[in-house]
Amino acid sequence: MALNKPTCLWGILMKPAYGVWGLILLLIIAHQDIWFWEDTTLVFGFLPIALAYHAGISLAAAFTWYLATQFCWPTDQEPSVQRKETP
């Protein structure tokens, strides 16, 4: 995706493509959850917090990658060739 050179942090974050890459970086940082290392809380009474938190990371990753397919998808792909259709 062709992007204009951003001029400030706010400008970077306001561009959807940069924002999405920023979210992915944030996910990678959030993945290192040392704050829950020794926590034995059971979320909803059955889900260990270490597991619940990382299941949340998976959901957030799915959402972030959905945004990536909407805002960062490469536009220089050649058009698809018509072939036998499959679902």
Q: Does 37 bind another protein (CB under 8 A)?
A: yes
Is the separation of the CB atoms in 43 and 6 below 8 Å? no
Q: Least separation, in Å, of the C-beta of 10 and another protein?
A: 25
Q: Does 28 bind another protein (CB under 8 A)?
A: yes
65 is a site residue for another protein (CB under 8 A): yes
Distance (Å, whole) CA 16 – CA 37: 33
Applying CB under 8 A, the site for another protein has a residue count of 46
Q: Is 3 in the site for another protein (CB under 8 A)?
A: no
- Can you tell me the distance from the alpha carbon of 79 to that of 54, in angstroms, rounded to the nearest whole number? 38
Contacts of 48 (CB under 8 A, 6+ apart): 40, 41, 42
Nearest to 36 by CA among 46, 50, 26: 50
Binding site for another protein (CB under 8 A): 2, 24, 27-28, 31-34, 37-40, 42, 45-48, 50-51, 53-55, 57-59, 61-63, 65-66, 68-69, 72-74, 76-81, 83-87
